[in-house]
Amino acid sequence: MIEFWIRRIVILPIRFYKLIISPLLPPSCRYRPTCSQYMIEAIMEWGIIKGTWLGLKRIGRCHPFSNHDMYDPIPKRKP
């Protein structure tokens, strides 16, 4: 339970960016879900460390010369 709330606290700056800063900038993310939403979902699914790592890797792939697909969901846990 405490880990859930820690994840929520870590996600707060990302949500701040999404709600306050991002609307002031021109759209630039070439992926769906957006990089910020991807980071939130990755942290909730994988935890703070691995989720942040997955999000940073995704942001690194988000550039005009990327040849990746536009739809790029977070990896799911294997059962």
33-71 tens-digit pLDDT: 999 999 999 999 999 999 999 999 999 988 877 777 788
Range name among 18-22, 27-31, 71-75 with the lowest pLDDT average? 27-31
What is the H or E stretch that residue 16 is in?
A: helix 2-16
In this structure, what is the dihedral angle of CA atoms 50, 32, 44, 46, given to the nearest 10 degrees? -30
Residue 2 clears pLDDT 80, i.e. is over it:
yes
Tell me how far apart the alpha carbons of residues 27 and 11 are, in angstroms, rounded to a whole number. Answer: 21
Task: Say what the pLDDT of residue 61 is.
Answer: 87
Q: What average pLDDT does the segment 14-34 reach?
A: 91
DSSP state of 70: S
Q: How far is CA 54 from the centre of its chain?
A: 8
Tell me how far apart the alpha carbons of residues 5 and 67 are, in angstroms, rounded to a whole number. Answer: 36
Higher pLDDT, 63 or 2: 2
Task: Say what the pLDDT of residue 29 is.
Answer: 82
